[in-house]
Structure 1
Amino acid sequence: MSGIVLSASVRQNLLSLQSTADLLATTQNRLSTGKSVNSALDNPTNFFTAQSLDNRASDINNLLDGIANGVQVLQAANTGLTSLQKLIDSAKSIANQALQTTVGYSSKSSVSTTIAGATAADLRGTTSFASAVANSNVLYSGAAGGVTAATSGATLGGISGSDTGTVINAATTAAKLLNGAAAGDANAGVAAGDTLTVNGKTVTFAAGDVPTTIPTGLTQVAASAGVTTGNVFTDTSGNVTVYLGSTTKASIGDVLTAVDLASGTQSNVAGTLTLNAGQTASTVTGGGALKLQSTTGSDLSVTGKADILKALGLTSATGAGNVTATAARTTSSTTVSSLVSSGSTLNVDGHVITFKDAPTPSAASLGATQGVSGNVVTDGNGNSTVYLQNGTISDVLKAIDFATGVQTFTLNGSGSGTLATASGQTASSINTSGQLKISTGVNADLSITGTGNALSVFGLAGNTGTASAFTAARTSGVGGIAGKTLTFTSFNGGTAVNVTFGDGTNGTVKTLDQLNSQLQANNLAATIDANGQLTITASNDYASSTIGSTAAGGAIGGTLTSALTFTTASTPVQDVVAQSARANLVSQYNNILNQIDTTSVDSSFNGVNLLNGDQLKLVFDETGKSSLNITGVTYNSKGLGLAALSVGVDFIDNAATNRVLTNLNSASSTLRSEASALGSNLSVVQIRQDFNKNLINVLQTGSSNLTLADTNVEAANSQALSTRQSIAVSALSLANTSQQSVLQLLR
Structure 2
Amino acid sequence: MANTILSSGVRNNLLTLQQTSAQQSVIQNRLATGKRVNSAIDNPVNYFTSQSLNDRSSQLTGLLDGISNGIQTIQAASKGIDGITKLVQSLQSTVKQAQADAAQNRPTKAGTALSTATEAALTSKSLKDIALDKRIVDDNTAPTANSATATYAGNVGGPVLAAGDQSTTSIYLKTGTTTYKASFLSTNGTVRDVVNEINKSGIATAFVDEKGQLNIKGVGSEKVEFGIGTATFTPAVAGAPTAAEIAAAGVTADTTATGVASDNTDFGFALTDNAFATTTITGSNITSAVRSNLIQQFNDLRDQIDKLAKDSSFNGINLLQGDRLSIVFNEKTGTNQTKLDIQGSTLSSDNLGIVQATNTQLAGFFNFQNDLDLDKATEALTGSLTSLKSLSSTLGSNLSVAQTRQDFTKELANVLTSGADNLVLADPNAEGASLLALNTRQQLSQTALSLANQADQGVLRLFG
TM-score, reference length from structure 2: 0.66
**What CA distance in whole angstroms lies between the structure 2 residues aligned with 1:502 and 1:52?**
100
Alignment of 1:219-368 (within 5 A): none
Counterpart CA distance in 1 for 2:330 and 2:137 is 85
* Structure 1 residues not aligned, in runs of 5+: 112-118, 127-423, 425-441, 445-476, 504-509, 549-555
Q: 1 CA distance for matches of 2:299 and 2:59?
A: 50
* 1:711 counterpart residue number: 428
* Matched-pair contact (CA < 8 Å) for 2:50–2:423: yes
Q: Structure 1 residues 2, 53: closer, same or farther in 2, change over 3 A?
A: farther
Q: 1:685 to 1:579 in 2, by over 3 A?
A: same
2:383 is matched with 666
Alpha-carbon distance in 2 for matches of 1:559, 1:73: 64
Contact 2:257-2:276 at 8 Å conserved across structures: no
**Who is 2:285 aligned against?**
575
Task: Provide the C-alpha distance between the structure 2 equivalents of 1:662 and 1:55, rounded to a whole number of angstroms.
Answer: 57
Alignment of 1:639-658 (within 5 A): 639-649=351-361, 650-658=367-375
Q: Provide the aligned C-alpha RMSD in A.
A: 4.0
User: Are the aligned partners of 1:538 and 1:547 in contact in 2 as well (CA < 8 Å)?
Assistant: no
2-structure distance, mates of 1:710, 1:726? 24
- Is the 1:109–1:545 contact (alpha carbons within 8 Å) kept by the matching residues of 2? no
Query: Structure 2, unaligned stretches of length 5 or more?
Result: 112-130, 139-161, 187-192, 227-250, 261-274, 362-366
Does structure 2 conserve the Cα–Cα contact (< 8 Å) formed by 1:109 and 1:547?
Answer: no
Distance 1:49 1:735 in 2: 48
Indicate which of 204, 208, 216 corresponds to 1:525.
204
What is the CA-CA distance between 1:574 and the residue it aligns to?
4.9
- Kindly provide the CA deviation profile for residues 545-586 of structure 1, in whole angstroms up to 9, marking residues without a partner as x: 4659xxxxxxx961773324433441514527x533322211
- Between the aligned partners of 1:547 and 1:64, the Cα distance in structure 2 is 71
Q: Which residue of 2 aligns with 1:327?
A: none
Q: Does residue 1:74 correspond to 2:66, yes or no? A: no
Deviation at 1:529, TM superposition (A): 7.2
Residue equivalent to 2:325: 616
Instruction: Give the C-alpha shift of residue 18 in structure 1.
Output: 2.2
Q: Distance in 2 between matches of 1:598 and 1:587?
A: 17
> 2:338 corresponds to which residue?
626
Paired residues for 1:99-498 under 5 Å:
99-101=99-101, 103=103, 105=105, 107-108=107-108, 443=164, 480=168, 492=176
Deviations 1:337-385 (A, max 9, x none): xxxxxxxxxxxxxxxxxxxxxxxxxxxxxxxxxxxxxxxxxxxxxxxxx
Shift of 1:106: 6.1
Q: How many Å apart are 1:492 and its aligned residue?
A: 4.5
Q: Which residue among 439, 447, 457 is the counterpart of 1:722? A: 439
Which position in structure 1 is the counterpart of 2:219?
A: 539
TM-superposed CA distance for 1:721, in Å, is 0.8
Which residue in the other structure is 1:558 paired with?
253
Kept in 2, the 8 Å contact 1:600–1:611? The answer is yes
Distance, in Å, in 1 between the alignment partners of 2:53 and 2:410 is 14
- Secondary structure of the residue aligned to 2:327 is strand
- CA shift, 1:513, in A, is 6.3
Distance of 2:67 and 2:255 partners within structure 1: 74
Letter in 2 for 1:16: T
Contact 1:593 1:637 in 2 (8 A): yes
**What is the aligned residue count?**
365
Q: What code does the residue aligned with 2:96 have?
A: N
Distance 1:744 1:730 in 2: 21
Rg: which structure is higher? 1
The sequence identity of aligned pairs, in percent, is 37
| 1:636 is the counterpart of 2:332 | no
Cα shift at 1:516: 5.5
CA contact (8 A) 1:583 1:648 kept: no
Q: CA deviation at 1:647?
A: 2.6
Gap change, CA 1:711 and 1:493, over 3 Å in 2: farther
More helix by share: 2
Instruction: Please report the TM-score for the alignment, with normalisation by the length of structure 1.
Output: 0.43
Counterpart in the other structure of 1:166:
none
Q: Which amino acid aligns with 2:354?
A: L
Distance 2:2 2:404 in 1: 72
Question: In the alignment, does 2:34 pair up with 1:34?
Answer: yes
